[in-house]
Structure 1
Amino acid sequence: MKQHKKIVVLVINCLQGGGAERVVLTLGQGFYELGYEVHILRFKPLVEYDLGPNLNYHVLRFKPYKLIPGSERRDRIFARAVDKYVSQNIGQPDIVLSNLDRADSILSNSKLPNIFYVIHNTVSLLYKFNKTSAADDLKSKMINIYSKHPCICVSKGAEKDFIKSFGDITPTIAIHNPIDRDGIKKQADAFVPDYQNYIIHVGSFKDAKRHDLLVKAYAQTDQSMPLLLLGQGKHKSETEQLVKELNLEEKVVFLGFCENPFPYIKNAQFKILTSDWEGFALVIAEALVLGTPVISTNCPSGPSELLPENNLMPMGDIDAIAEKMRQAMNNPQKFHASFDEKLLPAQIAAEYVGFAHSVNTKS
C-alpha cells in the first residue's frame, strides 16, 4: 500500500518582492526535501520569483471579498473560503504555515488543523508600538490574532521582542530562515558586475535600513572604494539628495532594483548593513554563503546571531560605523565569517516539524 505523503501548506498574500516571500519558497523546498507534498497558497496572483517545479502553487483571490463591509467580518468569510478550498483542492494538511499579517489575520479565523504563524519581523519596531497613540488598539488586535496559534519567530531577537510586546500568549520558538546555498551560488555566477573593489549595500530604501547613516558614515572615510546601493523605495530620492549635498556623486552608485543581487554581493570587497531593525537579516546569511565579508549594526535581532562580535557596530553611531568601514576597506578579510550549514532548507524544515510535533504532543 502506497504511504500517504505528509502535506504542508504555506500561506502568504502574494509572491512579489520581499524577503518573506523568498523565505516561503526556500522553506517549501526544504519540506520537499524531507518528503512532504508542498502547497503554496496565495491571495494575489502577483509573482516576482521563479517558481520551482517541486512545489504546488495555488491562488485564491481575496479581491472579490473586499466588497464585504467590515474587515473582521470579511476575514471570517474569506477564512471559510480558504478552509473549503484547502479541503477540496489540497486535502488534510499536517502543517499550515501562515506568513505576514494578511495571512495571519485570515488564518486566525480558520478551522484548519496545525496552523503556525511565522513571525518575520521585530514587531514592536515594525509597528512602532512605542511611538504611536493608536498602538494600544493595534496591540490588542494583534494579541487576539497571535494568541490563536503557536508562533515561529525567525530569530531569537524577534522571539524576545514578540514575548515582550504581547506577553506569554502562545507557545513560541526561534527558528532561523532557510538559506538556499546551492541556488545562491549558481545565481552569483550569472554575470560579472561592471564595478571592481566596491562596498555593497542591499536593501530597500525604507526607515529600517538607515541609508542616511550609511552615506554620512561613508563620507567620513577616504572613499577609496565606491559604495554601491542596490534597491529602491520611499527614501531613495532623499538619499540621492544627501549624496549630492556631501559631494559623493562620483563615489555612490544607485543600482536600482536588481532581480539577481548575488553577483554584486559575491564580487564585493565587503557588504554593509546599517539597519535599526531586522527580522533575521537574510542578506547577511546570503553574503556568508558567497564568502563575502560583512559588517553590520548590532540591531536587536538577526546580526549578532549570524556574525562574530568583531563584525558588529553600534546602531545609529555614525563615527563608529565610519571607523568600522575604514577597517574593512583596509582589510576586508578581517571580517570574513563562515556560513552555518544548519541554515540549509531541509535542516530548517526539520526544526519546524520538530516544533509542530512538540506542540501537538503537549496539547
Structure 2
Amino acid sequence: MTNNATSIINNLPRENKKKILLVINCLQGGGAERVVLTLGQGFYELGYEVHVLRFKPRVEYDLNPNLIYHVLKFRLYKKIPGAQRRDKFFARTVDRYITKKIGQPDVILSNLDRSDSVFSYSRLPNIVYVIHNTLSLLYKFQQADIGHQKKENFTKIYSKNPCACVSNGVQKDFLENFGDITPTIAIHNPIDRDCIRKLGDAFVPEYENYIIHVGSFKEAKRHDVLLRAYAKTDQSLPLLLLGKGKLKNDIEQLVVELNLEDKVVFLGFHENPFPYIKHARFKVLTSDWEGFALVIAESQVLGTPVISTDCPSGPSELLPQNNLMPMRDIDAIAAKLSLAMKNSEQFHSEFNEALLPITIAKKYIEFASNCENIGKKA
C-alpha cells in the first residue's frame, strides 16, 4: 500500500475504519509486550484503527501514539475462587467492554497465557492466539507432577481459536504436543527497522570492543553456560550482560567462582539496549529455548554479528549454520566465542526485510481471513 493510500485510510472517520485489537496482560519489560506495540504499528500502516487492551496498568515502554490504549484491571477478579471460574467471569466483562468501547474488531490477537485463558471463554468472533513461546519447554510438559496438568489446560484453551506461532520451531512444538486441534501458522515477529536504527544512535556506550548478551536472568537464557564457556577463552574481549531477573544473584556468584570479576560487566536493565548492541563486536545467545529470538533480528538491523545456540526455535530460522552452536556444549561454545573474538565479521548476517511490521501485519490479516472463511464453510 502506498503512503498516500495509507494516509487517506487513516483520515477516514472512525466508524468507517476496520479495527484490530491486540490484547496482553501488561506492557512491562518483555519481548512479547514489545512485539504487540511493533505489530500494532504494522496494522496502523495498513490503515487499521488499532486498539491495545491490557489487564494491568503498568507500562515500561514508550507507547506508540498511533495506537489506542485501554486498561481493564484483572486484579479486581482475583477474589473469585477457582482460576477457570475467575477467567470466565472476567471474559464476560472483557466482551462487554470491547463491544461498548471499541466495537466489533475485525481481528482480535490474544498474546500470552493470561489473555489466552480469558479469551477461551469469549463469545466474540475472529480471535487468534499468538503463541510466543516453545510451550513444552517453558512449562515443562515432561514433568509428570505439573507438566501434564499444564498441557491439558492449554489443550482446552488453544482448541477454541486459531493459533499463530512466532516461528516454525514454535509451531512444530505446538503440533507435536497438542496435535491438529486448531488451524495453525508460523508468522515471524515484526521488527521495526527504522525505529531500532534511530534508538541505536541515541548514545555511545562508555565501553569499547566488547561482547554483548541481552536477556533476562532466567533459566532459558543459560547465563551459566555462557560464563563457563567464556572462562575457557582468553577473554580478550570483556563480556557485558544486559538485563535483570531472578537468577542474577546466582550468576554474579558464578562470576566470582570463575574469577571473571574483571572481565564481566553487569549493565542492569536498559529500556533502550540498542546502542550497546550496535557498538558491540558481536552478540552472543546461549539459550536452551527461545520463541523467535527478537534480539538476533534486532542485532542484524544494527549490523552486529551474532552467534547463538541452535535451540529448538528461532535462531536457525534467522542465522546461517556457521553462526550456530550446540546447546549446553561448553567446549563448542568456547571455541565459537574464541573465533568471534578474533574475527567477528565472519559471523555477520543480513536483516531480512520480510520481517518489517507492515509485511507481518498482512500475514495476520490473511490468516485470520482464511480461518474465518473456513468457519463459515463449516
- Smaller-chain TM-score bracket: over 0.9
2-structure distance, mates of 1:193, 1:65: 45
> In structure 2, what is the equivalent of residue 167 of structure 1?
179
Partner Cα distance (1:246, 1:66) in 2: 45
Deviations along 1:106-141, one digit per CA (max 9) or x if unpaired, are 000001110000000000000011124222222111
| Structure 2 residue 294 is the aligned partner of structure 1 residue 282 | yes
Q: CA deviation at 1:144?
A: 0.5
CA distance in 2, matches of 1:25, 1:228: 27
Alignment partner of 2:248 out of 236, 240, 253: 236
Q: Give the alignment partner of residue 303 of structure 1, picking from 304, 315, 333.
A: 315
Is 1:100 the counterpart of 2:112 in the alignment?
yes
CA displacement at 1:66 relative to structure 2: 1.1
**Alpha carbons of structure 1 residues 328 and 38: separation in structure 2 relative to 1, 3 Å:** same
- 1:338 maps to a residue whose letter is E
For 2:183, give the aligned amino acid: P
Partner in structure 2 of residue 292 of structure 1: 304
The match for 1:53 among 45, 57, 65 is: 65
Structure 2 unpaired stretches of 5+: 1-11
- Structure 2 residue corresponding to 1:345, chosen from 357, 368, 372: 357
1:43-122 → structure 2 map (5 Å cutoff) = 43-122=55-134
Aligned twin of 1:180: 192
Q: CA RMSD in A?
A: 1.0
The aligned counterpart of 2:238 is 226
Which residue in the other structure is 1:144 paired with? 156
- Residue type of the alignment partner of 1:270: F
CA distance, structure 1, for counterparts of residue 228 and residue 88 of structure 2: 48
What SS does the aligned partner of 2:307 have?
strand
Contact 2:142–2:148 (CA under 8 A) maintained in structure 1: no
Rounded Cα–Cα distance in structure 2 between residues aligned with 1:86 and 1:152: 22
> Displacement of 1:64 after TM fit?
1.1
Q: Does 1:201 align with 2:213?
A: yes
Q: Say whether residues 1:336 and 2:337 are aligned partners.
A: no
- After TM superposition, the structure 1 stretch with the greater mean CA deviation from structure 2, 135-144 or 311-320, is 135-144
Quick one: which amino acid aligns to residue 41 of structure 1?
Answer: L
Q: CA offset at residue 246 of structure 1?
A: 1.3
- What amino acid sits opposite 2:225 in the alignment? L
* 1:211 and 2:223 matched: yes
Q: CA deviation at 1:242?
A: 1.1
* Residue 7 (structure 1) aligned with residue 13 (structure 2): no
Segments of structure 1 that go 5 or more residues without pairing to the other structure are none
Aligned pair count reads 363
Amino acid at match of 1:284: I
**C-alpha distance in structure 2 between counterparts of 1:149 and 1:205, whole Å:** 33
Report Cα offsets for 1:62-103 as digits up to 9, x if no partner. 111111122111111110100100011001110000000000
Q: Which amino acid aligns with 1:239?
A: I
Counterpart Cα distance in 1 of 2:73 and 2:252: 38
Q: Which amino acid aligns with 1:337?
A: S
Identity of aligned residues (%): 70
Distance in 1 between the 2:286 and 2:275 partners? 21
- Residue by residue over 1:285-307, the C-alpha shift from the partner in whole angstroms, topping out at 9 and shown as x without a partner, is 00000000000000000000000
Q: Of residues 27, 42, 57 in structure 2, which corresponds to 1:30?
A: 42
For residues 229 and 143 of structure 2, the distance between their equivalents in structure 1, rounded to whole angstroms, comes to 26
Shift of residue 6, structure 1, vs aligned partner: 0.8
What is the alpha-carbon distance in structure 1 between the residues aligned to residue 356 and residue 215 of structure 2?
22
Return the alpha-carbon distance in structure 1 between the equivalents of residues 352 and 334 of structure 2.
Answer: 28
**CA–CA distance in structure 2, aligned partners of residues 317 and 136 of structure 1:** 29
Distance (whole Å) between structure 1 residues aligned to residue 173 and residue 247 of structure 2: 26
Aligned to 1:342, what secondary structure does the other structure show? helix
Q: Deviations over 1:209-241 (max 9, x none)?
A: 000010010011111100000011111111111
Q: Which amino acid aligns with 1:146?
A: Y
* AA matched with 2:32: A
2: CA distance, partners of 1:237 / 1:159: 34
Amino acid at match of 2:234: D
